Structure 1
């Protein structure tokens, strides 16, 4: 699909709506033509209004929303009955649903979506700890990976070769986009990672509920294979960690140096591609009822994130396992790996005792290093970056954006919160962290702040049910929309022509169940706009 098709349709939509009170000025034909003919082009100028464009969902709670880089598609996650679903739409003309696919059960929120820079992939990240990849054109599943912590943010590196996920516990992990293989991780935040946003030069901005935005420089280098930090729990007298064998499904391993072998249960062995039917070699292992002979499989591959052990011998034995685990890391593991426990983060620190063999020459990993930290007086709920990488859009709240019983009770009574200094949307200098402009028109938590491509306008959404369009140099919003319930996400399209909004909506259980818009698009009007190139 050409970039021009959706743009032309939105221009027509703006013309149809020009006479109503929600109309924005129509884009002049010559400006529209320049925008169509400029690769990576976007509008720059004074934003002056919003015009209603399209409603994509009005029955379900919608949690997040993102545009494809060419502006031809939009994706959102919504809670429908007993599961979360991925809605993928082509923007026309006219808008059409491409797919509506189940993601995971309703108890695990899916709050993060991102398109790759080339528009080929779409990633979701949810509270079940799973990152999922989809074909961004068809919505077909490509790959998935279960991580160790609930996920709350996701972003693709501009190169397209990596994606980054953030957790509810402050961890930021880099994965290869090709296979979701581990690349690098760091825990820059002391609380939930609320936002991840890349500038075009690869700089990563990571926002968190610890009231900080970390600025991280990224680069490629040879991967480290000599250590890993993995979550552990204590169960039945053992520390239990998760790893994989031969690239198979995750396995819960008990650490027990008294066991004379590395042991897998038959189910885990099958997932690792081990067929014991033709294995002749055996080893004697202790069980609760005495010794037993277990089949011994030579030269397997054991992985814990970036730490890889080659040439591992594995005994297959169900009777040798403690309850609720799929394997045991016995004496041979302890001989090769030091294990320490970080009780603060509940992580086991694994370190090879001998130098790791060199990675293949072609193997690369994306790593990041701290460049700066911006500290604020309020919790950071959202971060976006303009096209130049010079300005950030940031959503703040004085209280954590947690949907507590007290919040629901207040909303049920129709009680709002008074404006405050840090329930705010702001434009922040990406180099220094200085707040250039802060708007406090919302009442309560400001959940989202999407900056325009030219960095001169900001669209913000709040739990007060309102969407505001702010403009540089203006104290009051230049446009406002009221939704049925909390606004969860607000984003400018890549060329500045559209704003997309994700919101909750009051549920209706009778009739056609249609309610207030929960996934909606608005055309943005500009006064005398120009066209800029990325």
Structure 2
């Protein structure tokens, strides 16, 4: 029997490949059960006593991100199939039932960010392809998507449900409006990957990063008159390339070229932007190295660069006028309206409307992030969660950079155990001061995830040592432990505190059913003498 099988052997009998209850949930006293049922948004509080396996939702895939719905009794996780990532959405039951399993993006782009809207009606994903996607939580239908400039690793909804924030692998936090996913604002909050985003009930945002910081951000809606934007750029030979969006529909990569007397799109990009190319009547002559090309002309279009919006833009449609691999060219009309400066430190182009926003330009409401606190740790921050009152944080800390590479895989293949360390730990942290209230350095190597209980008294942690621990404040020893067969990627408490969801990788085995070891699991939490807390 392979290492890790003993702890999950009880799951092997009678479970379906993608789900099924192993045990009934840990029983509560009838009066506690009744009060929890009638207290909307209520959660359990007390000393945890242990965990029991309730259900295995998946035993064949690599599971990456996992989240519970604040309302609606659902859980969702991202899984890697044979050629694509999928979003599996379940009702919690009992028994759990798979509601939807839509595809997200190709397998080349990991999807770690998963989050439910506050009402439980939407699920957002954030992937390494740089795209935020919104799915209907009941049907799995795609409700919207927005391409950002950088690979994404995490996403979180604001408590009012009108905004979400996506964190990138390069430290950028982008605020988008819900449900349209329009760009609102941004802050480069960390150096290197943003590893976690978590909102407190009052709207305070906590972000964690591989720069060994947890930062707190005040949030507020401001009326902005967009006249400037900072946009990532890249150099391709003698050209500078910027990313924009045409008519709010088509993300495009555009070459900046003052020699071209028009703003130009390829026919494919124009069609994606809603331009009916065959029915365009006007034309424009565009000179080039091989002579003049007659291009069709679409008047009165819009062009967005984040918060900077150009209206009344005339766009020429010409495939031969656009460099290979791009979707368009920003020619003289763009240069006449927009001043472009380059920040080589951040690799961003600063775009400013000449003369400022036009008279009478409408203001746009946007959620804006403002720094509040900065907590520095002597270890990499892998994960951050916040309790139901917004008073405590659960933080995953690792002395080794939590980056999977060939060296890590070789050590795992050879069975080399990583060392314990004082800051390979899950920690309870005061949300106002950043003080570490208690930490538990039991994991060997990287601690990839930490989930604080709704009452802020307990912590579940998971790591690349294949283990999940459950701790309660005031005690050094774990109150519960589970072992999996490969790295644990994510642990999360359910909003009522009754369950811990676990996302893990599982070795790929050759079997008639395709089954392997448990990868997405619901653990029931047992309490010594639980009571019910109503939300404030």
TM-score (structure 1 length as normaliser): 0.93
- C-alpha deviation, 1:359, in angstroms: 4.9
Measure, in 1, the Cα distance between the counterparts of 2:108 and 2:330.
Answer: 33
Measure, in 1, the Cα distance between the counterparts of 2:105 and 2:510.
Answer: 22
Measure, in 2, the Cα distance between the counterparts of 1:268 and 1:404.
Answer: 37
Cα distance, 1:310–1:121 mapped onto 2, change above 3 Å: same
- Unmatched 5+ residue regions in structure 2? 1-19
Partner of 1:355: 356
Measure, in 2, the Cα distance between the counterparts of 1:293 and 1:11.
Answer: 69
User: 1:400-435 CA distances to partner (integer Å, 9 max, x unpaired)?
Assistant: 111111211111122211210111100111001111
Residue 442 of structure 1 aligns to a residue whose secondary structure is coil
Contact 1:223 1:359 in 2 (8 A): no
Cα distance, 1:120–1:14 mapped onto 2, change above 3 Å: closer
User: 1:262-283 CA distances to partner (integer Å, 9 max, x unpaired)?
Assistant: 2222222222222344444333
Residue 81 of structure 1 aligns to a residue whose secondary structure is coil
Measure, in 2, the Cα distance between the counterparts of 1:408 and 1:290.
Answer: 56
- C-alpha deviation, 1:489, in angstroms: 0.4
- C-alpha deviation, 1:214, in angstroms: 1.3
User: 1:205-227 CA distances to partner (integer Å, 9 max, x unpaired)?
Assistant: 01110111111100111134111
Cα distance, 1:498–1:267 mapped onto 2, change above 3 Å: same
Partner of 1:298: 299
Residue 158 of structure 1 aligns to a residue whose secondary structure is coil
Partner of 2:385: 384
Measure, in 1, the Cα distance between the counterparts of 2:23 and 2:317.
Answer: 66
Q: Does 1:207 align with 2:208?
A: yes
Residue 412 of structure 1 aligns to a residue whose secondary structure is helix
Contact 2:245 2:303 in 1 (8 A): yes
User: 1:211-249 CA distances to partner (integer Å, 9 max, x unpaired)?
Assistant: 111111001111341111112111241101111221231
Partner of 2:446: 445
Runs of 4+ in 1 over 6 A off after TM superposition: 9-12
- Unmatched 5+ residue regions in structure 1? 1-8, 16-25
Partner of 1:6: none
Residue 222 of structure 1 aligns to a residue whose secondary structure is strand
Partner of 1:18: none
Residue 406 of structure 1 aligns to a residue whose secondary structure is helix
Cα distance, 1:447–1:283 mapped onto 2, change above 3 Å: same
Partner of 1:419: 420
Partner of 2:468: 467
Cα distance, 1:91–1:346 mapped onto 2, change above 3 Å: same
- C-alpha deviation, 1:72, in angstroms: 1.1
Partner of 2:272: 271
- C-alpha deviation, 1:10, in angstroms: 9.4
Larger deviation: 112-121 or 68-77? 68-77
- C-alpha deviation, 1:11, in angstroms: 13
Pairing 1:210-229 to 2, within 5 Å after superposition:
210-229=211-230
- C-alpha deviation, 1:342, in angstroms: 1.9
- C-alpha deviation, 1:71, in angstroms: 5.8
- C-alpha deviation, 1:365, in angstroms: 1.0
User: 1:37-83 CA distances to partner (integer Å, 9 max, x unpaired)?
Assistant: 11110011111111111111111111111111126111111112122
User: 1:71-114 CA distances to partner (integer Å, 9 max, x unpaired)?
Assistant: 61111111121221111111112111112222121111111100
Q: Does 1:13 align with 2:14?
A: no
Residue 47 of structure 2 aligns to a residue whose secondary structure is strand
- C-alpha deviation, 1:320, in angstroms: 2.1
Cα distance, 1:143–1:386 mapped onto 2, change above 3 Å: same
Larger deviation: 218-227 or 275-284? 275-284
Measure, in 2, the Cα distance between the counterparts of 1:157 and 1:133.
Answer: 14
Measure, in 1, the Cα distance between the counterparts of 2:23 and 2:107.
Answer: 38
Pairing 1:248-327 to 2, within 5 Å after superposition:
248-327=249-328
Measure, in 1, the Cα distance between the counterparts of 2:61 and 2:443.
Answer: 24
Partner of 1:336: 337
User: 1:376-414 CA distances to partner (integer Å, 9 max, x unpaired)?
Assistant: 111100000000100000001111111111211111122
Partner of 1:393: 394
Measure, in 1, the Cα distance between the counterparts of 2:296 and 2:512.
Answer: 62
Larger deviation: 31-40 or 220-229? 220-229
Partner of 1:510: 511
Residue 410 of structure 2 aligns to a residue whose secondary structure is helix
Contact 2:451 2:459 in 1 (8 A): yes
Q: Does 1:243 align with 2:226?
A: no
Partner of 1:159: 160
- C-alpha deviation, 1:299, in angstroms: 2.1
Cα distance, 1:331–1:31 mapped onto 2, change above 3 Å: same
Measure, in 2, the Cα distance between the counterparts of 1:359 and 1:212.
Answer: 39
Measure, in 2, the Cα distance between the counterparts of 1:10 and 1:478.
Answer: 23
Q: Does 1:231 align with 2:232?
A: yes
User: 1:243-262 CA distances to partner (integer Å, 9 max, x unpaired)?
Assistant: 12212311211101122222
User: 1:153-183 CA distances to partner (integer Å, 9 max, x unpaired)?
Assistant: 0000000011110001111001111111101
Larger deviation: 382-391 or 348-357? 348-357
Measure, in 2, the Cα distance between the counterparts of 1:337 and 1:35.
Answer: 58
Partner of 1:55: 56
Residue 92 of structure 1 aligns to a residue whose secondary structure is coil
- C-alpha deviation, 1:294, in angstroms: 2.6
Larger deviation: 244-253 or 388-397? 244-253
Q: Does 1:193 align with 2:204?
A: no
Partner of 2:148: 147
Larger deviation: 150-159 or 273-282? 273-282
TM-score (structure 2 length as normaliser): 0.93
Cα distance, 1:291–1:509 mapped onto 2, change above 3 Å: same
Measure, in 2, the Cα distance between the counterparts of 1:465 and 1:258.
Answer: 58
Partner of 2:103: 102
